[in-house]
Amino acid sequence: MNELPLITRARSHGAAIAFRSGTTTHTYQDILDRSDALASALLGEADDLKESRVALLLPGGFEYVAAQWSIWRAGGIKLPICLSATEPEWEYALTDSSVSIVVADAANAAKIAPLCARLGVRLVDIDAITSAPAKTLPQITSDRRAMILYTSGTTSKPKGVVTTHANIQAQIESLVQAWEWSARDRIPLFLPMHHIHGIINVTSCALWSGAMIEPFARFDLNAILNRVRVDAYTLFMAVPTIYVKLIQALESASSEDRAAIIGGFKRMRLMVSGSAALPASVHEQWTALTGQKLLERYGMTEIGMAISNLYHGERRPGAVGAPLPGVEVRLKTEGGQIITAEDEPGEIQVRGPGVFAAYWNRPEATAETFDGDWFRTGDMAVLERGYYRIMGRLSVDIIKSGGYKLSALEIEAALLEHPLIDECAVIGLPDDTWGEAVTAVCVFKDNATLELKTLREWCKDRLSVYKVPQSLLVVNELPRNAMGKVTKPAVKALF
Ligand code: MLC
Ligand code: AMP
């Protein structure tokens, strides 16, 4: 029988607890049973979803995973969408990938129902599905396409990154091996579930290993710390912004609370940071506070995780480490030379079974991003004493804020729809908490004025909260080069 290895493994973990939330628990068998019923409901009269796109609008947890597995077991492609996105952002993802079904819980189904009705997309409220007649599910081979994640780049609209079941399995197995995941692990899940960090590194690795997940509806700092202090977790994975917020919380806690929480962090077997650069100062502060040496790793939606500090070995502040198992990494100069020596910077290129299949419906963009069979990441790095250090990105139009990758061009396109904005340039400025803060430099029409607060209010119907500009600079004209093109480095130099 062709069953996905993930499902076969779940059968072997059967009675173990996969999810715990307060006193509510769900076993691996519960996920299998629930995904069976949901898969039958999704299929209806059909025998196989045959790679139809099924969007998922659910918070992380038992129902999310049951729905994800149901889509896969029914033969569909899962496309998770952001819970806090605006309607135009949802509409873009649903239409770009021709989604035919949206799966949501009752609360989120109510929010997206008008859009589904307008687009003629079937909406499945999983809270209304208590059981479904058992169907024979199709056989799914690993080369089938499994997931589309939307990611921003140097184009104004996000692109759908398509991975197969085999890609996903390779990404999981590499991390399970490198970080020694086991059935004894317990991890909190508070990252958004439309990105690879929450989906693969936390949830999929845990479930592959028979470990236990405690989901939180959002990053609820106090609720998480209350669990840390009672040793609820062996593992912790977060973006740098979260470590900054944790340091601030510990510094303002009473000495009694601080000691209890620090004890919980100290006793974890591993704490990981990634998705954006972890400043060496934050790394060092965390070690000074908790005694834990964070393990920093580097990855990307298109490739999964590629480079990591060692689990048994050096964890160097400011460096991302060495290639993970099954991943090949090389650096290439702008002139196309493969770098063989240390201390010479170049673009990171990655090859391996975890590398994505294609951008959805964009053969040219897919072709452009490969150099033979090597994926061009657009990130610059240098190899120093055996470890890679990330130096930045090739494109100034990519901003990383709170661990989210944002396209400056997408935000500019939205701002240009404002009736008073004539021209604008969006940049990321260094920020201690968010890594980079979205900043808009605008030329207004006819000497008009617009307060930042009013602009932010206007943006909220068009852009997710983390894309909304944090600051605004009004100028009479944007800096341009001799060809008349706006130059972002000159825009940055205005600050
Ligand atoms: C939110 N706020 C921001 C902001 N995001 N301000 C500046 N910059 C940002 N980026 C503001 C809001 O406007 C709000 O303000 C306040 O912060 C609280 O908003 P929130 O949404 O409730 O924030 P919070 O829950 O604290 O979110 C912080 C966070 C979140 C760090 C938990 O950003 C997050 O989950 N980031 C992780 C993203 C992620 O998973 N990335 C991985 C991509 S995959 P006010 O005024 O209303 O209070 C990838 C590959 C890899 O990168 O290698 O992993
Ligand atoms: P995404 O497209 O959202 O998957 O984001 C991937 C990008 O995040 C990479 O291309 C890097 O620019 C950045 N990134 C991920 N991990 C790190 C890290 N440890 N240090 C610096 N940048 C990182």
User: CA 201, CA 238: separation in Å to the nearest integer?
Assistant: 10
CATH code of 81's domain: 3.40.50.980
| N-to-C CA span, the chain | 62
Which residue ranges have their beta carbon within 6 Å of ligand 1?
A: 191-192, 195-198, 218-219, 239, 241-242, 274-275, 299-301, 401-405, 434, 437, 465-466, 470
Task: Please tell me if the CB atom of residue 377 comes closer than 6 angstroms to any atom of ligand 2.
Answer: yes
Domain boundary among 122, 140, 158: 140
Q: Is residue 54 part of a domain?
A: yes
Helices and strands (H and E) in the chain: how many:
16, 26
Q: Is residue 332 part of a domain?
A: no
Going by alpha carbons, the residue nearest to atom 9 of ligand 1 is: 466
Ligand nearest to the CA of 192: 1
Domain boundary among 106, 140, 174: 140
Asked if residue 159 lies in contact with residue 368, where contact means CB atoms within 8 angstroms, the answer is no
Domain boundary among 140, 170, 189: 140
Instruction: Give, to the nearest 10 degrees, the angle between helix 255-266 and helix 221-228.
Output: 70
User: Which two tokens mark 481?
Assistant: 């080069």
Mean pLDDT is lowest, of 67-81, 128-142, 254-268, for 128-142
pLDDT tens track for 312-333:
999 999 999 999 999 999 999 9
Average model confidence (pLDDT) for the chain? 96
Q: Is residue 19 part of a domain?
A: yes
DSSP 197: I
- Which residue, among 175, 161, 204, has the nearest Cα to 72 in the 3D structure? 204
pLDDT tens track for 191-206:
999 999 999 999 999 9
Identity of the residue numbered 415: L
Task: Please tell me if the CB atom of residue 294 comes closer than 6 angstroms to any atom of ligand 2.
Answer: no
Identity of the residue numbered 123: L
Ligand nearest to the CA of 320: 2
Going by alpha carbons, the residue nearest to atom 14 of ligand 1 is: 465
Among 243, 275, 294, say which to mutate for ligand 2: greatest number of ligand atoms within 8 Å of CB: 275
User: CA 131, CA 128: separation in Å to the nearest integer?
Assistant: 9
Q: Is residue 190 part of a domain?
A: no
Nearest ligand 1 atom to alpha carbon 301:
50
CATH code of 457's domain: 3.30.300.30
Task: Please tell me if the CB atom of residue 200 comes closer than 6 angstroms to any atom of ligand 2.
Answer: no
Range of the domain at 417: 398-493
Task: Quote the pTM value.
Answer: 0.97
User: What's the gap in Å between 392 CA and the centre of ligand 2?
Assistant: 9
| pLDDT of 369 above 80 | yes
pLDDT tens track for 27-63:
999 999 999 999 999 999 999 999 999 999 999 999 9
Mention every residue, 6+ apart, whose C-beta is less than 8 A from residue 206: 18, 181, 185, 187, 212, 213
Mean pLDDT is lowest, of 129-133, 144-148, 455-459, for 129-133
| pLDDT of 1 above 70 | no
| pLDDT of 389 above 80 | yes
Instruction: Report how far apart, in Å, the C-alpha atoms of 274 and of each of 250, 329, 381, 442 are.
Output: 21, 18, 15, 32
Q: Where are the beta strands (DSSP E) in 216-365?
A: 235-238, 270-273, 295-300, 304-308, 322-323, 328-332, 346-351, 358-359
User: Which two tokens mark 464?
Assistant: 């997710």
Q: Is residue 265 part of a domain?
A: no
Asked if residue 393 lies in contact with residue 298, where contact means CB atoms within 8 angstroms, the answer is no
Nearest ligand 2 atom to alpha carbon 196:
4
Going by alpha carbons, the residue nearest to atom 47 of ligand 1 is: 465
Categorize the per-residue pLDDT at 153 as very low, low, confident or very high, splitting at 50, 70 and 90.
confident
pLDDT at 409: 95
**Average pLDDT, integer, range 121-142:** 92
How many domains would you assign to the chain? 2
pLDDT at 157: 87
Categorize the per-residue pLDDT at 134 as very low, low, confident or very high, splitting at 50, 70 and 90.
confident
pLDDT tens track for 416-469:
999 999 999 999 999 999 999 999 999 999 889 899 999 999 999 999 999 999
Asked if residue 64 lies in contact with residue 58, where contact means CB atoms within 8 angstroms, the answer is yes
pLDDT tens track for 159-178:
999 999 999 999 999 999 99
Residue that has been written with the tokens 């980079």 in this structure: 436
**Average pLDDT, integer, range 231-254:** 97
| pLDDT of 86 above 80 | yes
Task: Please tell me if the CB atom of residue 34 comes closer than 6 angstroms to any atom of ligand 2.
Answer: no
Categorize the per-residue pLDDT at 156 as very low, low, confident or very high, splitting at 50, 70 and 90.
confident
Asked if residue 196 lies in contact with residue 237, where contact means CB atoms within 8 angstroms, the answer is no
Q: Is residue 122 part of a domain?
A: yes
Q: Is residue 385 part of a domain?
A: no
User: CA 293, CA 266: separation in Å to the nearest integer?
Assistant: 9
Q: Where are the beta strands (DSSP E) in 137-268?
A: 145-151, 159-164, 186-189, 212-215, 235-238
- Which residue, among 103, 94, 25, has the nearest Cα to 59 in the 3D structure? 103
| pLDDT of 2 above 80 | no
Identify any residues that bridge with 79 across adjacent strands, giving them in sequence order. Answer: 55
